[in-house]
Amino acid sequence: MGIVDEAFTQRQLGSASAMAIVMALIMIIVSVFQFKISNMRDKKEGK
């Protein structure tokens, strides 16, 4: 069950909106984590 299916096929806009927000938060958390790891690796290499 995808966000687009939830929003447009099943007409559950609130639920689809919540799913999109959760997905965005997960992507932000993963991006911050990846950025911090990349920074630590660069500092160890002396860049």
Question: pLDDT class for 47, splitting at 50, 70, 90?
Answer: low
* Distance in angstroms (rounded) separating the CA atoms of residues 13 and 8: 8
* Distance in angstroms (rounded) separating the CA atoms of residues 35 and 43: 12
* Distance in angstroms (rounded) separating the CA atoms of residues 32 and 38: 10
- Per-residue pLDDT, 44: 84
8's tokens? 């447009």
- Name the pTM for this structure: 0.76
* Distance in angstroms (rounded) separating the CA atoms of residues 39 and 42: 5
Tens-place pLDDT, residues 6-28: 999 999 999 999 999 999 999 99
